[in-house]
């Protein structure tokens, strides 16, 4: 598993706040 980038962390934060958004499928 590659190290987390700032974008990965940002996506994870967004998904955790909005778990029902399409971002959940992309993350």
Per-residue pLDDT of 1-27, as tens digits, reads 678 899 888 888 877 776 666 655 554
pLDDT at residue 11, rounded to an integer: 82
pLDDT at residue 1, rounded to an integer: 66
d(CA 20, CA 4): 22
d(CA 11, CA 20): 13
pLDDT at residue 22, rounded to an integer: 62
Beta-carbon count within 10 A of 26 CB: 8
pLDDT at residue 17, rounded to an integer: 74
d(CA 18, CA 1): 24
d(CA 14, CA 2): 20
pLDDT at residue 15, rounded to an integer: 74
What is the residue whose two structure tokens read 């955790």?
16
């Amino acid at each position: 598993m590659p190290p987390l980038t700032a974008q990965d962390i940002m996506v994870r934060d967004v998904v955790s706040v909005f778990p029902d958004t399409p971002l959940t499928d992309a993350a």
